[in-house]
Amino acid sequence: MPPPVPEGLLARALATLDPGYFAWVMASGIVSVGTGLLGYWVLSAVVLWVAVAAFCGLVLAYIARALWWPSFFQRSLEDPSVALAYFTFVAGADVLGVRFVMAHRAGVSAGLGLSAAVAWAVLNYGLPWSVVARAHRPVLRDFNGTWLIWVVGTQSLSIVAASLAPSASTRAQARYLAEASTCLWGVGVVLYIVLVTIIVLRLMVVEVTPREMGPAYWIAMGATAISVRAAAGLLALPGSAGGFPTAELRPFVLGFSVVLWSFGSWWIPALVLFGLWRHLLRHFPLTYEPRLWSMVFPLGMYTVASYTLGRAGRFTFMVTIAKIWVWVAVAAWAGVLVLMALALARALAAAYRRRAARPATTR
């Protein structure tokens, strides 16, 4: 049986905090990166500070949850439908790290990247064991798009490593970072192929409800986009980063990244159709849910991936798409932020009404 939900708005919010709420940081960070790459620096700075505030607040919230409501925390680690969402911390820290590289704050980026690497190492092996070894039912039934955040977290480490390589203080450090970036990119690509195959199979053989077919499935596109961005980071490395022969890998990396970009683009109309089926045909209410940030992040990452690969491979049509698509990402980010603020206002108003009614009830 699930533990009883504590009373009080703050206590209830912390105890039931969605494991994937760092997707808010991911979404804000990547919109900041995308607008910065395209020259909208004022907008980029505003979104960056929202991302920093969200990151700091969520770190404190998750620590409080683990200390004060450990039963809720443990249950989420063992639940196949939500456990892998904890990789959003890894991706959120890394996306912020990349943005701070753009701001010439390599030290901050290195600190965030190191924290993300430690978390990734723990989650990478701990979560699959926790989910599979302790499952009391078939895991396939609870398999959903959230599992692809595993890929996103892995590729985000590759991007940070490649971003830090040019500013490494020694030749050896540059080589280690280039090697790590290349290997993590390879791991992320194979993970994507394995996981997306399972997810498509699951959609074909297990009945999917409108509640399940939520925004998290947009990560199917976001995982390809971040894999493309990681590949662009490898392509941007010097021909011999600290002695690592990156030039020899470029034909394969470039070709495969075009395949990934194309497949990610193919996902977009399919995901839109899933959304129409969910809300128009099955009448699922369009209200705020934390996983909406998991839809905003792929939109922003598609912008960044298209721009960086377009520049690296001289694909002008990708750069043109990025210049248009960035406003889709900005609009989605602003829209979900407004929905979140309205949901918070409604929750506060409901808590106030309950508190005001309590004396009358006792009388």
Host domain of residue 189: 9-351
Is residue 120 in some structural domain?
yes
Segment 177-212, tens digit of pLDDT: 999 999 999 999 999 999 999 888 887 777 777 777
pTM: 0.91
Q: Which residues have C-beta within 8 Å of that of residue 285, sequence separation ≥ 6?
A: 279
Mind listing the pLDDT tens digit for each residue in 90-140? 999 999 999 999 999 999 999 999 999 999 999 998 887 776 666 555 566
pLDDT the model gives residue 249: 85
- Output the pLDDT for position 135: 57
> Is residue 359 domain-resident?
no
229-252 pLDDT, tens digit per residue, is 999 999 988 766 656 677 788 899
| Residue 56 lies inside a defined structural domain of this protein | yes
Give residue 59's pLDDT.
96
**How far is CA 2 from each of CA 83, 144, 151, rounded to the nearest angstrom?**
16, 22, 29
3-state secondary structure of 363: coil
Flag whether 290 is in a domain. Answer: yes
Residue 241, beta-bridge partner list: 244
Tell me whether residue 361 is in a domain: no
- Rounded to whole angstroms, how far apart are CA atoms 37 and 165? 19
Compute CA distances 143 → 16, 126, 130, 208, whole Å: 21, 17, 14, 11
- Whichever domain contains 89, its CATH number is 1.50.10.150
For 11-25, b/e burial (b = at least 16 CB within 10 A) is eeebbebbbbbbbbb
Residue 294 contacts residue 218 (beta carbons within 8 Å):
yes
Total number of domains constituting the chain:
1
Residue 286 included in any domain: yes
Task: Tell me whether residue 362 is in a domain.
Answer: no
Q: Is residue 362 over pLDDT 60?
A: no
> Residue 363 has what pLDDT?
47
What was the pLDDT predicted at 118? 96
Does residue 147 belong to any structural domain of this protein?
yes
